[in-house]
Amino acid sequence: MKEAFRLIEIRIEKLIIKVRGDLSNLERNKIINIITIDVHSRDVVEKFVIQKVQEPESFNWLSQLKFYWEGKETDMASRQKLRYPWEIDKNKTKCIIKIVDWFRFYSFEYTGNAVRLVVTPLTDRCYITLTQALNLTMGGAPAGPAGTGKTETTKDLGRGVGLPVMVFNCSDQMNKDSMAQIFMGLSQTGAWGCFDEFNRITVEVLSVVSSQVKCVLDALKERKPSFVFMEEGELTIEDTVGFFITMNPGYAGRTELPENLKAQFRSCAMVVPDLVLICENMLMSEGF
């Protein structure tokens, strides 16, 4: 662990020197992303060293989002012969993501050179809650004040597992038919849906939404390739589909969720993020 910590520190120092150089916008974005992820890796490894984590069954190790190559082509020598990662035979090798007891194959959704979120201990805790919600075939519900990173954390987790995340800004204009169309689309594509400010939808619509969500989650539990969705007929379903709702509690014009809808989502309390850690990480990724 101590050796890995030194290697990560050397790598970060080299990247910081590189980011100060004359780079194109795409290269700069890429290096900033790598530094952002590496700084979190450094902090995690440092915590392992201090706490003397030695067992692979330790919760500190299990609670991190980890990526593994599994299959016949797992040795490094055979992978280094490949010029590009997409030359790997997908039938022989799979990229598996694990966090606690949840695992999923990487979905290879093209996410581009987008800016990655600074991972703080709060982000880690949110990742665990959301992935365990998926493990229990439930939706995830990060709740908290504005600016705590509810939607961004959900999007970043989706980016981490290579899945498209569709964000819908909810309003009282939404009706049961528009919600049905969204759930049908997400079920058939296997994408994640993040419903922002979900409690702005009227109570009458939410009571129908609870039966729509239950219909999809029941099909996932039964592991069926297709299911009958309400009055819309039979649809195919991808097992990667997930529903997430974010809410700002205590604002005017917000409705209380019906109990049968609450029961289908696992809540996660989001608090004000660690600004010192975020500022340090952002300064470092800009070359300080």
The arithmetic mean of pLDDT across residues 157-173, rounded, is 92
The verdict on 56 and 126 lying in the same domain is no
Q: Examine the domain organization and report whether 14 and 137 are in the same domain.
A: no
Same domain, 178 and 261: yes
- Domain co-membership, 280 together with 259: no
pLDDT of 83 > 60? The answer is: no
Q: Count the domains in the chain.
A: 2
- pLDDT tens digits, residue range 89-117? 555 568 899 999 898 999 888 888 888 88
Looking at residue 94, its pLDDT comes to 83
23, 7 Cβ separation under 8 angstroms: no
Same domain, 149 and 224: yes
| Per-residue confidence (pLDDT) for residue 98, from 0 to 100 | 92
State which of 58-72, 173-187, 221-235 shows the largest mean pLDDT: 173-187
Do residues 96 and 102 lie in contact, with contact meaning Cβ atoms separated by under 8 Å? no
- If asked whether residues 254 and 164 sit together in one domain, one would say yes
Average pLDDT over residues 173-192: 93
49 in a domain, yes or no? yes
Q: Could you tell me the two tokens for 26?
A: 């795409």
Q: Are residues 175 and 210 in the same domain?
A: yes
pLDDT band at 230 (very low <50, low <70, confident <90, very high): confident
Region 212-232: what's the mean pLDDT?
A: 90
Are both 282 and 209 inside the same structural domain?
no
Identify the domain containing residue 161 by its residue range: 121-269
Are 231 and 286 part of one and the same domain? no
Same domain? For 182 and 248 the reply is yes
Q: Is residue 264 scored above 80 in pLDDT?
A: yes
Instruction: Say if residue 49's pLDDT is above 80.
Output: yes
Token representation of residue 176: 């049961």
Q: List the single range of 22-26, 30-34, 76-80, 106-110 with lowest mean pLDDT.
A: 76-80
What is the per-residue pLDDT for 250? 67
- The answer to whether residue 106 sits within a structural domain is no
Residue 145 has pLDDT above 60, yes or no: yes
**pLDDT score at 82:** 47
Which pLDDT does position 111 carry in this prediction?
81
Mean pLDDT of the chain: 87
**Does residue 262 share a domain with residue 141?**
yes
Q: CA-based angle 72:77:82, to the nearest 5?
A: 85
Q: Is the pLDDT of residue 39 over 70?
A: yes
DSSP letters, the chain, are: -HHHHHHHHHHHHHHHHHHTS---HHHHHHHHHHHHHHHHHHHHHHHHHHHT---TT-HHHHTS-EEEEEETT-SHHHHHT-SSGGGS-TTTEEEEEEETTEEEE-------SPPPPPP-HHHHHHHHHHHHHHHTT-EEEEE-STTS-HHHHHHHHHHHTT--EEEEE--TT--HHHHHHHHHHHHHHT-EEEEETGGGS-HHHHHHHHHHHHHHHHHHHTT-SEEE-TTS-EEE--TT-EEEEEB-TT-TTPPPPPHHHHTTEEEEE-----HHHHHHHHHHHTT-
Q: Minimal CA–CA distance to 240: which of 149, 144, 105? A: 105
| CA distances from residue 241 to 67, 104, 117 in whole angstroms, order as listed | 20, 12, 22
pLDDT of 120 strictly over 60: yes
0.85 exceeded by pTM: yes
Same-domain pairing of 177 and 239? yes
More confidently predicted of 253 and 193:
193
